[in-house]
Structure 1
Amino acid sequence: MPGDTKARIQEVARELFVRQGVQNTSLRQISERLGITKPALYYHFASREDLVRSILQPLVDDLERFVDTRPPGEARAGEARALLEDCFELMWRHREVTTMIVRELSLLGTLDLGERVFAWQRRMIALLLGPDPTPELQIRATVALGGMSDCTVEYAHLPVAQVKRAAVEAAAAALALP
């Protein structure tokens, strides 16, 4: 089943990339771990870069979909907290990919990820605070979003409910939400 093989390759590659880093993981290691030949791996992915892009793309797609499907404008307090909770859940789902990126910042150039993340953050701030927040509120929102993202990586070993509760509460406090 080609689809299953491709998904298994991505799963094993993601695991090794998170643990060892992208540059320290060879395609040979991935193929040996799967019990397939390197040519079989190349059948599904033309290069390591192609494989890395395939692992990063779902994060990009989910971030875009997240901000594109919400109505623009300032969220009311209850809506802002719900938006933070939804945002945390998105970040938690992609915590392994975020760990890959944090370990190897050169990945930010892949899929123009660095600029996309900043653009996504600006759009999230606009969703939370409206189109013209003060610089102080923008800074608070940046701390809130960045802190939640950091928590998904740093505390990935803890139960998600525990991390989510504390991270969302801290983000809400940073934004001075009731």
Structure 2
Amino acid sequence: MPRPRTSETAERIRTATLELIAVKGVHQVSLREIAERVGITKPALYYHFGSREELVRSLVQPLIDDVEAALAPFGPGVAARELLGAYFDATYRHRDITAMIMRDPSVLAMVDLAAAVAGWRQRIVTLLVGDEPTLAQLTRAQMAIGGLGDCTVVMPGVPAAALREAVLDAATDTLRLA
């Protein structure tokens, strides 16, 4: 059997890491355990990822890149449903990462994801309710965004299209924009 290419091995490492973290949490999974799951040596794992943090960052970075790209085209005057739909689509594609973070919030600090998430939320809130929202507007916007993110994880059996519509209906109702 031919040896997997480097990118294939790195992807197998990421997949095994996500599976193990889902069961045990990020700090309870050893790099040796990941290497064994993949069928490589620990030094081979270090060839691909120099540290646990680098490995976890490689899991999270596609989410960061995708959300940044999804939000980039939007500016003032955007339709709330369109903005929230783009955010839903990006976060839904990476719901396994969101689930990992919900199970082990220490991941946020490990890869400084908290700053990125806070930035996204602030940008979305500003686009939805402006620079000087009332407390009620701010509260509804935060609830809409948070609920949207939660639904991508806590309803895994719901088909994506149906979930997207229900989430966007609920978010716009929460914003009182329906």
TM-score normalised by length of structure 1: 0.90
Q: Is this contact kept in 1: 2:71–2:86, CA < 8 A? A: no
Report the CA distance between 1:29 and its aligned residue. 2.0
Of the three residues 36, 46, 52, the one matched with 1:48 is 52
Please give the alpha-carbon distance, in whole angstroms, between the structure 1 residues aligned to 2:151 and 2:37: 30
Q: Is this contact kept in 2: 1:18–1:97, CA < 8 A? A: no
Query: Counterpart of 2:8?
Result: 4
Matches within 5 A, 1:1-178: 1-70=5-74, 72-75=75-78, 79-178=79-178
| 151-160 or 127-136, larger mean C-alpha shift | 127-136
> Which structure has more RCO (C-alpha within 8 Å, separation ≥ 6)?
1
Amino acid at match of 1:18: A
The size of the alignment, in residue pairs, is 174
Unaligned ranges ≥5, structure 2: none
Q: Is this contact kept in 2: 1:148–1:167, CA < 8 A? A: yes
Report the CA distance between 1:146 and its aligned residue. 0.2
Amino acid at match of 1:66: A
Please give the alpha-carbon distance, in whole angstroms, between the structure 2 residues aligned to 1:48 and 1:167: 34
Q: Is this contact kept in 2: 1:53–1:111, CA < 8 A? A: yes
Please give the alpha-carbon distance, in whole angstroms, between the structure 1 residues aligned to 2:33 and 2:54: 16
Root-mean-square deviation over aligned CA pairs:
1.5
CA deviations 1:118-172 (Å, max 9, x no partner) are 1210101122233333221111111001001011111123221232222111101
Following TM superposition, where does structure 1 have runs of at least 4 consecutive aligned residues deviating by more than 4 angstroms? none
TM-score normalised by length of structure 2: 0.90
Amino acid at match of 1:130: G
Q: Is this contact kept in 2: 1:137–1:175, CA < 8 A? A: yes
Q: Is this contact kept in 1: 2:53–2:111, CA < 8 A? A: no
Please give the alpha-carbon distance, in whole angstroms, between the structure 2 residues aligned to 1:165 and 1:88: 10
Q: 1:74 to 1:135 in 2, by over 3 A?
A: farther
| 27-36 or 138-147, larger mean C-alpha shift | 27-36
Unaligned ranges ≥5, structure 1: none
Please give the alpha-carbon distance, in whole angstroms, between the structure 2 residues aligned to 1:25 and 1:111: 16
